[in-house]
């Protein structure tokens, strides 16, 4: 399967929330258009986080959702409520509401993954309504968020690139 048309966009809203979206087109669906496919989108992302960080950051699944922790035991960097799955004949979607962690200023927003079929098949990774602890706060100058832009945001984009590549290569297990 081939990957094309890499696109990324990011912006910070006046209230400090961050929105980021990455997308690619692929030559064929990476997952099935059902709940299992939607779940695979999310699970594959967590595995990619672990691979990309060489196990430094690990995803721990609990009844309350997913926690990203240093070495799986350290502080909770980000926590997410359980996945919400949606599937139909043309779209599968997996979203994780952001519930907290040291890298979140407050519980808000969500991390989503989708596969959409139209004239072409598109894979998407997005963060909406997230208030990162490292980003500029409302009413403060933009430069106060330089650490988020220089580190946390770049990590998410890099993991999204790897995520799309491994999904397209059929490495969903």
Please report whether residue 173 resides in a domain: no
Q: Indicate whether 143 pLDDT > 50.
A: no
- Cβ-based neighbour number of residue 104 at 10 Å: 21
Per-residue pLDDT tens over the stretch 88-97: 999 999 999 9
Domain span holding position 139: 3-168
Residue ranges in 53-115 assigned as alpha helix (H): none
Per-residue pLDDT tens over the stretch 16-36: 788 889 999 999 999 999 999
Q: Residue 121: which CATH number?
A: 3.30.530
Please report whether residue 110 resides in a domain: yes
Please report whether residue 106 resides in a domain: yes
Per-residue pLDDT tens over the stretch 37-88: 999 999 999 999 999 999 999 999 999 999 999 987 889 999 999 999 999 9
Q: Which secondary structure element, helix H or strand E, spans residue 124, and what is its range?
A: strand 121-130
Please report whether residue 74 resides in a domain: yes
Looking at the structure of the chain, the number of domains it has is 1
Q: Indicate whether 137 pLDDT > 60.
A: no
Of 83, 112, 92, 113, give the one whose Cα is nearest residue 32. 92
Please report whether residue 44 resides in a domain: yes
Confidence label for 146 from pLDDT (cuts 50, 70 and 90): low
Please report whether residue 119 resides in a domain: yes
For residue 149, the model assigns a pLDDT of: 53
């Amino acid at each position: 399967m081939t990957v094309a048309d890499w696109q990324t966009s990011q912006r910070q809203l006046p209230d400090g929330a961050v929105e980021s979206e990455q997308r690619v087109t692929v030559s064929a669906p990476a997952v099935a258009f059902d709940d299992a496919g939607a779940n695979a989108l999310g699970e594959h992302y967590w595995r990619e986080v672990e691979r990309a960080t060489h196990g430094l950051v690990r995803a721990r699944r609990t009844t309350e959702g997913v926690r990203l922790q240093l070495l799986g035991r350290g502080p909770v960097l980000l926590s997410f409520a359980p996945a919400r799955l949606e599937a139909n004949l043309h779209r599968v979607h997996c979203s994780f509401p952001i519930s907290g962690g040291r890298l979140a200023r407050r519980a808000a927003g969500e991390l989503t993954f989708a596969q959409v079929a139209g004239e072409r098949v598109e894979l998407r990774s997005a963060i909406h309504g997230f208030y990162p602890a490292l980003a500029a706060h409302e009413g403060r100058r933009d430069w106060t968020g330089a650490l988020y832009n220089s580190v946390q945001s770049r990590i998410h984009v890099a993991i999204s690139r790897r995520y799309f590549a491994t999904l397209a290569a059929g490495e969903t297990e």
